Structure 1
Amino acid sequence: MQTHPHLERDIRDHLTNQANLTQALLDSEQVGKALALAANLCLNAVRGGHALWFVGNGISAVDAQRMAALVMTKGMACAVPVRAFALATDGAMVTALANDHGVSSMFTWQIKSVCKPGDVLLAFSSSGNSPNVVEGLRLGKIIGMASIGFMGAKPGEMARWCDACLHVPSAHSSLVQDAHVTLGRVLATLLMDALKSGGSLSH
């Protein structure tokens, strides 16, 4: 069966855009430094017995879930246990909080209840301005959590509350979200390698 030439062109264009964005991340000194800082924040927290918490909305919630699962399962091979949790996984909890207290505070209620000083909050938002994610980061900072933000080209409100900001230089949310998955995997690999070797990360 032959494919339409326009479809083939669209496929090539999309893959080219992804490849170009990956190259831009590879060439970005800011992204490299932010990844190193993020990996150190997570490593220090895990070695100190603290937990990693992941948060996002929509597709970013899926990305947060995926990374929490990746870190938790890969961490089983490490001498130091890795505790990683996503705040959007419990549908009943999230919808109840959004219904009773408003969408903008549906993560803050969970953070108040379960997060501790020294934990790390990893937040995903392609816009960098998701109100409930921003509120979660703000509260996390107040209670003494470290914070890592996965965002798009524009820093948005999230950047005010993040210790490490992973900016993806694209205005297209789908490409930004794809890049967040890539950056998340790199971050998880850096963390797991350091935990397995017992070494440290320099930046």
Structure 2
Amino acid sequence: MSTTAQVRQELEESIAVKRAWSDALCAAVAQAAERAAAALRAGKKLVFFGNGGSAADAQHLAAEFLGRYRRERAPLRAIALHTNTSAVTAIANDYGYDQVFVRQVEAWVEPGDVVFGISTSGDSEGVVSALARARTLGAFAVALTGEGGGRCASACDLLLAVPSRATPRIQESHITLGHILCGLVESSLSERAGA
């Protein structure tokens, strides 16, 4: 197979996963956006976390809310929990890596916040634990995962499970899903503000 054919094959695989999103998944994305917009209107915040490529997605999405996505607007309260490397390394050293997100959730999350835990497998111990802890603190917990949801499925209030078990394809869908979420939240807040 030529290199160009390999590129085309990768593109087709990515497109196929996105086309396989069910109506239920699309409705769940809309529900996540509604919850996020309501939280922001109430002065609450959005909290994102994940490991590896999912960490990159978490900080990317937090930045879209803090800066802007498509509309000029005031900054929206959003934070990614892995961006303070001193906190991450200190917590990992003193308590174990699985506690990195839980400790920060306990410090930052308040009732009414919306947390987004991102794990392609759905089985990252730190993400599962942080989602569960956020719920006990009164936050609305959303999990972005791959097919089936793994252990995150029972640790969250709302599951956004991409219909794939291939990590690259799941990650590509997660950022698409995140961008859709950003757009829906911006639109909702702008409509309420009369913009």
Please give the TM-score of this superposition, normalised by the length of structure 2. Answer: 0.94
State whether structure 2 residue 181 is matched by structure 1 residue 187.
yes
Q: Which residue of 1 aligns with 2:48?
A: 54
Task: Give distance in 2, aligned partners of 1:118 and 1:60.
Answer: 24
Task: Give distance in 2, aligned partners of 1:67 and 1:40.
Answer: 16
1:5-27 Cα deviation digits (max 9, x unpaired): 521221111011011112112xx
Of 2, 6, 25, which aligns to 2:2?
6
Count how many residue pairs are aligned between Structure 1 and Structure 2. Answer: 192
Q: Which residue of 2 aligns with 1:78?
A: 73
Task: Give distance in 2, aligned partners of 1:22 and 1:156.
Answer: 20
1:141-195 Cα deviation digits (max 9, x unpaired): 1110001111000211111122221111111001100100000000010000111
Letter in 2 for 1:39: A
Q: Which residue of 2 aligns with 1:125?
A: 119
The alignment partner of 1:198 has SS state of: helix
Q: Which residue of 1 aligns with 2:101?
A: 107
Letter in 2 for 1:181: I
Q: Where does structure 1 differ by over 4 angstroms across 4 or more consecutive aligned residues?
A: none
State whether structure 2 residue 160 is matched by structure 1 residue 166.
yes
The alignment partner of 1:107 has SS state of: helix
Task: Give distance in 2, aligned partners of 1:112 and 1:147.
Answer: 14
Task: Give distance in 1, aligned partners of 2:49 and 2:110.
Answer: 15
Check whether the contact 1:128–1:157 (CA below 8 A) recurs between aligned residues. yes
Uncovered stretches (5+) of structure 1, i.e. residues with no partner: none
The alignment partner of 1:69 has SS state of: helix
Task: Give distance in 2, aligned partners of 1:170 and 1:92.
Answer: 34
Q: Which residue of 2 aligns with 1:21?
A: 17
Instruction: Tell me how far 1:34 sits from its aligned partner.
Output: 0.5
1:41-67 Cα deviation digits (max 9, x unpaired): 101100110010000000100000000
Uncovered stretches (5+) of structure 2, i.e. residues with no partner: none
Please give the TM-score of this superposition, normalised by the length of structure 1. Answer: 0.90
- Report which of the two structures shows the higher radius of gyration computed on alpha carbons: 1
Q: Which residue of 1 aligns with 2:191?
A: 197
Output the aligned Cα RMSD: 1.5
State whether structure 2 residue 126 is matched by structure 1 residue 138.
no
Instruction: Tell me how far 1:77 sits from its aligned partner.
Output: 3.2
